A and B are shown apart, each in its own frame.
Chain A
Amino acid sequence: MVTTALAPNSADDPLAYRPVALVDLLDRVLATGVVISGDITIAIADVDLVRVSLRALVASVGALAPPELRDAVASEGTGPAAEAP
């Protein structure tokens, strides 16, 4: 069993607050949240731009993943599913 319990220290002690992982944050702020459609960013409310943006995210993954993982991914091809017979 490997359980990484990060919290609730931050609930008890605001000083113990730790920076959140960008990918966890993007899960939440891009695709959820109240849909009060900004009248400028209607296309974003329809998620079109977000989809494009996440493609770009994957393309620039070097900025997020540690180098050893980047190499592993590169040598592995497109991921686990691609190795299936």
Chain B
Amino acid sequence: MPCINPNGQITDSARKLLSAMERPAPLPKVAADTGLPLYRIRSAVRELAQAGLVSKSGDAWQITAEGHAAMARSLTPAWRHPEAPTLRPPGLSPAAPQRRLL
């Protein structure tokens, strides 16, 4: 299950997974909480772990600080993103993001 899109942001499904791992949880519980098949959870967690967004302790997986940061970034519109301030044309108000030149 692709968890990170070509823009480097986590996908909706990854956000759902990370939310389910706010507290340490074994993968079958994550599958039950998200309603996704276990094979998709395993595949996704492998990808998230490679990106450092989740970590394992015993049988349980939990979101990392980097995972929380990725969650926050994914909820931030690109024009407000601190790493992309120059993407907003000068004078363009945040109230009119539809005019941004992205």
A binds B: no
Write the residues of chain B forming the contact surface with A, with a CB cutoff of 8 angstroms: none
